[in-house]
Structure 1
Amino acid sequence: MATIDQRASRRRADLVDQLLHRLNTDYPLVRPFERTAGDELQGVLDDGAAAVALALDVAATRAWSIGLGIGPVRLPLPPQTRAGAGPAFENARTAVERAKHSPASLAVVGPAPEGSRLEAELQLVAELEVRRSPAAAEAGRLIEQGLSQREAAERLGITQQAVSGRLAAGLWQPTRALLREAGAALGRLSESADAAGEPDGGAA
């Protein structure tokens, strides 16, 4: 479960509709993101890797605070996200409020100590992502698209050694490995929350 709130909304144009379209198009969701109140939106996910990717995507804009809530949801889920209920919704609400005063404007609330560890890991990677140089980020995006370092070098018009250097300087491989582990851990936590939830509950 993710709750997202626009930062400094009184000084900025309303960006909710634009973000809604992108998230609902780009990510697999159990229930689509909807505007819940003012400049806030909520969506339901059950894919740990997708939730991690979405959280970092949103955090990288620096325009939003994002909270991930781990826990059971009340089933059956209603068609509208805003009508949902359960600990996952409550945890996401707590998380987004904490995100407003947290590194990278990102927070995770879920079972301890795993929830706290995931939060620290995602905050660290989110900070690294925005501090990575444009050159390192460009090389990393090409690798993420499935290109080899040799192919990325040809695309960029530089040597393979230069691509390797950019990836190393941007800590690309370690952060990707950490995110894979974080996504898997989030998925396991979600499944555990489902198993421990109420008879009519599921995890998100």
Structure 2
Amino acid sequence: MFVVTADQRGSRARADLVPAGLQAIGSLAGSRLALAPARTAGDEVQVAVPDARAVIDVALHLSRTHEWSVGIGVGPVEQPLPDDVRAARGTAFLNAREGVERAKKTPTRISIVGGEEGSDAEALLRLLVELRDRRTEEGWELCDLLAEGLTQRDAAARLGITEGAVSQRARNAGLRTEEGALPALERLLRRADDAAAATERDASAGVAGP
């Protein structure tokens, strides 16, 4: 299981972004969530996600605004899950707490805690966030159009520029690099989740054994 804990940065001097954050998470991940996102304390949100790609989508969305410190915890959770994420417990929640505290101290504002495999995923995720942090408004404009399902030709027509200009903008924005990195990051997160589950099974077997 993956748990995302995100804390709004500089919340005392800014408007409360939690309602918008909760709505965005619900829209992005929807049925892929294990539990609905909720405000946990102050300007903090938390959500439990069983799907690796969904947790990437949520984390990258929150990081894009530079308004959130995002911690991702990998590990088991106590079953059965309660109805409210605020009542849930388990290693993934503890790791997410550690992750958000680490994220507050990093330039990329994001961290993953979950064993050696989690550290590998974190390294790739931070590189991806650094790439996205350098993206211009024009790059994001094209990125959003392509995410809607438009082709580069359609995007060129919408933007009123040539297809060559669209291709150049895509290169400058690192869109193909991101596209290639996402499946690799998803695989790393799945391995981290599998490793955490195996560790938990081994620990339970050891306690039950002679």
Question: Counterpart in 2 of 1:8?
Answer: 10
Matched, 1:41 2:29: no
Find 1:161's aligned residue among 164, 187, 194: 164
Matched, 1:138 2:141: yes
Query: What does 1:10-89 correspond to in 2, within 5 Å?
Result: 10-27=12-29, 28-89=32-93
Task: Supply the distance in 2 between the matched residues of 1:43 and 1:15 (Cα, whole angstroms).
Answer: 16
Give every structure 1 segment of 4 or more consecutive aligned residues whose post-TM-superposition deviation is greater than 3 Å. Answer: none
Task: Supply the distance in 1 between the matched residues of 2:150 and 2:44 (Cα, whole angstroms).
Answer: 37
Task: Supply the distance in 2 between the matched residues of 1:13 and 1:60 (Cα, whole angstroms).
Answer: 17
Task: Supply the distance in 2 between the matched residues of 1:121 and 1:59 (Cα, whole angstroms).
Answer: 14
Unaligned runs of 5+ in 2: 205-210
How far off is 1:192 after superposition?
Answer: 3.3
Task: Supply the distance in 2 between the matched residues of 1:55 and 1:9 (Cα, whole angstroms).
Answer: 19
Question: Counterpart in 2 of 1:121?
Answer: 124
Contact residue 49 and residue 187 of structure 1 kept, 8 A: no
Question: Counterpart in 1 of 2:207?
Answer: none
Could you list the per-position Cα deviations for residues 12-48 of structure 1 after superposition, in whole angstroms to 9, with x for gaps in the alignment? 2222122112212321310011111111121100111
**Greater RCO (Cα-Cα under 8 Å, separation 6 or more):** 1
Question: Counterpart in 1 of 2:208?
Answer: none
Task: Supply the distance in 1 between the matched residues of 2:90 and 2:158 (Cα, whole angstroms).
Answer: 48
Answer 1 or 2: which has greater helix percent. Answer: 2
Q: Secondary structure at the match of 1:146?
A: coil
Could you list the per-position Cα deviations for residues 94-137 of structure 1 after superposition, in whole angstroms to 9, with x for gaps in the alignment? 0000000012210000121x211211211221122132112222
Could you list the per-position Cα deviations for residues 114-169 of structure 1 after superposition, in whole angstroms to 9, with x for gaps in the alignment? 21121121122112213211222222222222222222212211111111111111
Quick one: which amino acid aligns to residue 60 of structure 1? Answer: R
Find 1:191's aligned residue among 189, 194, 203: 194
Quick one: which amino acid aligns to residue 26 of structure 1? Answer: L
Quick one: which amino acid aligns to residue 8 of structure 2? Answer: Q
Contact residue 121 and residue 182 of structure 1 kept, 8 A: yes
Matched, 1:102 2:106: yes
Task: Supply the distance in 1 between the matched residues of 2:121 and 2:21 (Cα, whole angstroms).
Answer: 24
Quick one: which amino acid aligns to residue 124 of structure 1? Answer: L
TM-score of the two chains, using structure 2 as the length reference: 0.88
Percent of aligned positions that are identical? 42
Quick one: which amino acid aligns to residue 22 of structure 1? Answer: A
Contact residue 128 and residue 178 of structure 2 kept, 8 A: yes
Question: Counterpart in 1 of 2:178?
Answer: 175
Matched pairs, number: 199
How far off is 1:198 after superposition?
Answer: 4.5
Contact residue 103 and residue 123 of structure 1 kept, 8 A: no
